[in-house]
Structures are given as structure tokens and as C-alpha cells.
């Protein structure tokens, strides 16, 4: 290991540092390339495969992959506690947590099966979700959506991501995700029901009750015995009715004010007309008197 003290602050925040130990001027991989890396950790070696820029973690491992060149040996030092303590896991390989790694990018493969890595994302997202780490689960599922996947697979990932956003109360994110989502006929009906219910929940919390009712009713088609969905149809109906009553009351009040204002204007105009008529009569009388008695 080189003794040179040529560390680069990767994130420019004092958390992760990199320095090059050897560089063979190999090919620079691009985002999406499948790369094979060797990680040396405390005298042990681990072979890991991952698509560059699509790592399972928004942490040091993904950042490292983005930083190295083909066949370049780098040493990575982690200063921040969450990087030191966390293990790297990819598929069946688990690399123990450490504050120093030597990473060598061995090869690049242009073609790889997206669905193979998609299943890893699904598994890792589930793990975070069950641990109630909803922000990290959401990030994993969000990363999964960059893959070139079938409509069915995408709908599954969106459903999982919506589950995370439901826990985080990110209602706008749910509606954005599902506005133009294609739901294939082959998709498991339980997943369709969950998707529709989660979109309904987002619309309900955005006070779009009539739209929410439509989504809940669609969800109920595939899960008829679900009392939870039924209860939200009732709640949406009641809140929608109250919302309508408030709007009607508001518009009724506006119309009354408008009518009152028009009546006042009309009354003022009548008084003005009468006053004008009196003035005209007075002027006419004055002219007549002046004419006959001058």
C-alpha cells in the first residue's frame, strides 16, 4: 500500500476520501455499464458485480464505483460513522464494515439482464421497509425505476415505492408516480388493488374526495372483503358531501352579496333619477317665470 498522502475528499464534506494507488490508464466506464470489482477488506477479498451508477445503496459503495477507472486501484477511507458501521451487501456477498477499503475495478460487461438486478432491488427495498427505514427503502425502489423493465415490473416497483411514500405522507409523490402509470392486465390483482388504494389515499389527503372514491372502488373490485377500503369510501363520501356543502354555502353567500350590492346600486340610481327630475322641473319653472315676468 502506497504511503503517499494524496487523499481526495470525494463528497467535499469530510466523510469519504479516495486516493489512487495504481492506474493502468484503463477504459473509463459509463453509467449503466456492468462492472466487476474486487474489494479488499482486512486481508480478505470480495468479488462484487454491479451496474455502475445503479448501486443498491446511496452510500459509499456506489460513490466508489462512480469514482474508479477500469483496473485502477484506489483506497477508500470513510470518516463518517454510518459508513464505518454499515456492511456492503450485494446478492449473496456481504463485505464487513470498515473504515478503509482497497477497490479494484476488474472488468466491464456491456450487456446484462436488468431483471436480475431488479430482483435485488426488490429484496433490499423490502428489507429496509420491514426495518421501518422508509426513506432508504424509497431510495432503493426509486433507483430500480431507472432499469429498462416491463410494465408489470415497473408497476410492482411503483406500488412498493407508493407504500414507502404512504408511510412518509408524501402524497404529491404518489400522485405524480401514478398519474400516467400503465397497469398491464397480467399484473397480480392484489398489487392492482394496493396501487389503487395507495393512489386513493393520496387523493383523499389532498382533499380530492370524488377522485379518491373512484380509486377506492377500483381497489375494492379486487379485494371485496377489505373493510379498510370500504371505510375510506365512507369517509371520502362524507367529507366530499361536507366539502360540497361548504362550497354551496360559499357561493350562496357570494350571490347574496352580489344581489345586495346590485339592489343598493339600483336604489342609489332611483334616488339620483328623482333628484335629477326635480332639478329639471325647477329649471323649467325658472325659465318660464323669467320669460313671462320679465
What is the per-residue pLDDT for 143? 76
73 shares its domain with 134: no
Structure-block grid coordinates of residue 93: 456477498
**Residue 200 counted as domain residue:** yes
96 shares its domain with 128: no
Structure-block grid coordinates of residue 106: 476488474
d(CA 123, CA 75): 29
CA 76 → CA 22, 26, 62, distances in Å? 13, 19, 12
d(CA 187, CA 197): 15
Average pLDDT of the chain is 77
pLDDT for residue 111 is more than 60: yes
Residue that is last in its domain, among 109, 140, 159: 109
CB atoms closer than 10 angstroms to residue 10: 18
What size, in residues, is the chain? 294
Residue that is last in its domain, among 226, 253, 282: 226
With a pLDDT cut of 90, the percent of the chain lying above it is 24
Poorest-confidence range of 131-140, 231-240, 279-288?
Answer: 279-288
Task: Please write the tens of the pLDDT for every residue from 215-231.
Answer: 999 999 999 889 999 99
pLDDT for residue 4 is more than 90: no
59 shares its domain with 74: yes
pLDDT for residue 270 is more than 50: yes
Select the more confidently predicted residue: 24 or 75. 75
Rg value, the chain, Cα: 35
Q: Where are the alpha helices (DSSP H) in 131-226?
A: 134-144, 151-168, 171-178, 189-205, 209-221
95 shares its domain with 121: no
What is the per-residue pLDDT for 90? 47
d(CA 174, CA 139): 14
Give me the number of domains the chain comprises. Answer: 2
What is the per-residue pLDDT for 134? 93
Burial 85-119 (b: 16+ CB within 10 A, else e): ebebbbeeeebeebeebebbbeebeeeeebeebbe
**Residue 236 counted as domain residue:** no
Going by pLDDT thresholds of 50, 70 and 90, the confidence category of residue 102 is confident
Say if residues 195 and 189 touch (Cβ distance below 8 Å). no
Q: Would you say the C-alpha torsion 147, 150, 156, 158 has a positive or negative sign? A: positive
**Residue 254 counted as domain residue:** no
d(CA 40, CA 62): 16
Select the more confidently predicted residue: 137 or 5. 137
What is the per-residue pLDDT for 66? 61
d(CA 126, CA 145): 15
Task: Please write the tens of the pLDDT for every residue from 49-67.
Answer: 666 665 544 455 555 666 6
Residue that is last in its domain, among 226, 242, 264: 226
d(CA 275, CA 139): 77
Say if residues 69 and 82 touch (Cβ distance below 8 Å). no
CA 181 → CA 93, 168, 197, distances in Å? 34, 21, 14
d(CA 226, CA 243): 26
Structure-block grid coordinates of residue 49: 458485480
| 3-state SS assignment for residue 13 | coil
- Range of 123's domain? 114-226
The DSSP bridge pattern shows strands 100-109 and 93-95 to be unpaired
**Residue 145 contacts by C-beta under 8 Å, 6 or more apart in sequence?**
154, 157, 158, 161
Going by pLDDT thresholds of 50, 70 and 90, the confidence category of residue 292 is low
Check which CATH number belongs to the domain holding 52 and give it: 3.10.50.40
What is the per-residue pLDDT for 184? 85
Q: Would you say the C-alpha torsion 7, 11, 16, 20 has a positive or negative sign? A: negative
Residue 25, by phi and psi: left (phi above 0), alpha (psi -120 to 50) or beta? left
Amino acid at each position: 500500500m502506497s504511503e503517499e498522502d494524496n487523499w481526495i475528499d470525494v463528497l467535499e464534506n469530510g466523510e469519504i476520501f479516495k486516493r489512487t494507488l495504481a492506474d493502468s490508464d484503463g477504459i473509463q466506464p459509463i453509467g449503466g455499464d456492468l462492472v466487476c470489482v474486487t474489494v479488499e477488506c482486512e486481508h480478505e477479498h470480495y468479488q462484487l458485480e454491479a451496474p455502475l451508477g445503479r448501486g443498491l445503496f446511496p452510500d459509499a459503495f456506489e460513490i466508489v464505483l462512480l469514482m474508479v477507472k477500469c483496473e485502477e486501484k484506489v483506497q477508500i477511507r470513510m470518516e463518517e460513522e454510518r459508513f464505518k458501521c454499515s456492511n456492503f451487501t450485494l446478492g449473496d456477498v456481504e463485505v464487513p464494515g470498515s473504515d478503509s477499503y482497497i477497490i479494484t475495478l476488474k472488468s466491464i460487461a456491456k450487456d446484462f439482464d436488468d431483471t436480475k438486478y431488479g430482483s435485488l432491488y426488490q429484496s433490499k427495498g423490502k428489507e429496509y421497509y420491514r426495518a421501518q427505514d422508509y426513506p432508504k427503502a424509497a431510495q432503493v425502489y426509486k433507483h430500480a425505476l431507472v432499469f429498462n423493465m416491463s410494465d408489470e415490473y415497473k408497476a410492482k416497483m411503483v406500488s412498493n415505492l407508493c407504500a414507502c411514500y404512504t408511510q412518509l405522507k408524501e402524497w404529491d409523490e404518489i400522485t405524480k408516480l401514478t398519474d400516467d402509470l400503465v397497469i398491464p392486465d397480467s399484473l397480480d390483482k392484489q398489487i392492482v388493488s394496493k396501487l389503487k388504494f395507495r393512489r386513493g389515499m393520496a387523493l383523499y389527503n389532498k382533499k380530492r374526495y370524488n377522485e379518491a372514491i373512484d380509486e377506492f372502488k377500483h381497489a375494492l373490485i379486487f379485494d371485496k372483503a377489505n373493510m379498510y377500503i370500504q371505510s375510506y369510501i365512507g369517509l371520502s363520501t362524507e367529507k366530499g358531501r361536507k366539502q360540497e356543502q361548504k362550497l354551496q354555502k360559499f357561493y350562496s353567500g357570494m350571490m347574496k352579496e352580489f344581489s345586495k350590492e346590485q339592489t343598493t346600486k339600483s336604489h342609489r340610481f332611483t334616488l339620483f333619477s328623482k333628484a335629477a327630475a326635480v332639478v329639471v322641473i325647477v329649471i323649467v319653472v325658472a325659465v318660464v317665470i323669467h320669460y313671462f315676468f320679465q
